[in-house]
Structure 1
Amino acid sequence: MRKIWLILPIVAALGVGCLTQTPGLPVEPTEPVVQVQEVFGVLDGWDEASGVARVRTSGGGVEEVRWPSGASSPSDRMGSLVRASGVRDGATLQIVGETVSFEERGAIVVVSPVAGATVTSPLQVQGFGRVFEQTLDWRVKDVTGSVVAQGYAMTDARDIGQYGPFQFEIFLPALADQSFVLEVLTYSAQDGSEQDVVTVPLRLLSTATSTFDVYFSHAQKGSNEDCTRTFAVSRTVAQTSAVGRAAILELLEGPTLEEAAQGYATNIPAQAGLRSLVISGETAKADFDSGLSAVAGSCRVTA
């Protein structure tokens, strides 16, 4: 009991000291945290009355920027690349522009991934393009410089001569070395020469792989008589968590030249594309674009 009575006054005194505020000392106000926002994209619209510009980003989003009062009107710069920075208005979510500048860049601008980045598969690519017929090409080169994957993508430019955002994904092939290069380019409509090549050196997180089967028909094995008779061929790609989507995209690509020479064939139209894939438990629901409806023949209809 003696120890309790000795400690309690000390605790009580400390408590009073903590709760008592010395009168007359001012309380410093808490300064709000102000974060400067930056947006880089294509000037897509301008409202002269409100002084608000509409900017489309490479990821498909749209930002509204209140144009600085001292800056000249951007009304004649539609489709140009612009960079703006300022503070976001919490009420309107607009960026109150403090600085704006138009950037003169090449025909192709890759925003993501950045050079030297460590990436996984599928590789997400975003940027802007001002290219003929809104079409650009891409390819992946391994450490030896050999092309191991290639394809094309479209920009979403509003008009000829304007930049448009693009975004696409690449399921990377199996690579023996982590280092590889992504190139985005165009080909001349006159002579087919390479133009506007943008090179992005990258590093794959791991050289591990994912292997799965896709199924094609084979006339010599009875597919013509029975459309349900399909036969497995193996595919190996860079390790990915999106194996289902990778498998469907490989299916849409059809047999390789070597497999076609062996008699494998596909009944899926070449222009068919995958919109989305949802996997729930053991059920997968794939949504294809209108290209899948371009069918002919009983086996194609069945497929």
Structure 2
Amino acid sequence: MQLRKMMLVLTALGAMSGFMVGCGDEENGSTTCTSNDQCSGTEICHPTAGVCVATCESGSDCPDTAKTCAPLGGTSSEANTKICQCSTDQLCNGGTGSDKTDMVCSDLDNVCVTKCTADSDCTGDRTCNTGSGQCEEGETGPTTCSGEAQSTCSYGDFCGSGTCTTPPAPTCPNLQGKPAASFDPATGTGNIIYSVTKEIFGTACGTDTTAQTVKARVSFYTKTGTLPTTKEGLNGFFYVKTDGGELNGVPLSNGYQRSSDGKSASLSVNLCTAASANQIVLGFYFTGGNGYCATLTK
């Protein structure tokens, strides 16, 4: 009877021993997660790798697969939390002598993760390098759009050749020191000028034989609401000369055209310049909007 009890105890201990070894083997794997609740009490869910990682105070708290104890980093609320970080793919796979090959040490997060085979295996906008099995930072391509003016683009951008584009920065001397030269879409409120094109350069400027006409087409859109039906209702539009002097652009303009939805419009600005000039630098802006420089050549 005593012998039978002893055999039962040894069998139970053997089973417990096997269970403990099985738990230890999990150090060579990675448990995917989306929140800390899915990890054990000593682990957190890595915010960008999407796997449970062990927390630590020193390297001695870490498994052989990831012996470096260092702050998580990044911008999450747990950025200062120390976690066990890896250094090589070999160690993630169990070290020398192991036949495992399905793990990599993430180049981005320094934690052991399962090799990816498709973009769907990666988190966020990361993409899978199927050759290395590493998830890499995804390249954000241009936002596509249709039509012109703002279209589906963010305020401050415009739809140019099918992609959302930012108007060129106003670097001409006309606008230097003007608020429009440092326009910020985050705080801007005015109309956005997205195109200035040449219509005329060189015809007679009235009866003045010492001057010639320059006519430019200015296209723009509104941030909110709709633009006025006539140019007389358009406020805060300025033409800026190279010496910084400003002229209210509306009296100088004609040919006002508004889009069917009232969100965008264009007008022509008529100017006179010296008859000998072959080039002119123009500066325009709307109050609260962006500055736009255009160099027109005869």
Name the TM-score class by shorter chain. Answer: under 0.3
TM-score (norm: length of structure 2)? 0.18
Larger radius of gyration: 2
TM-score (norm: length of structure 1)? 0.18
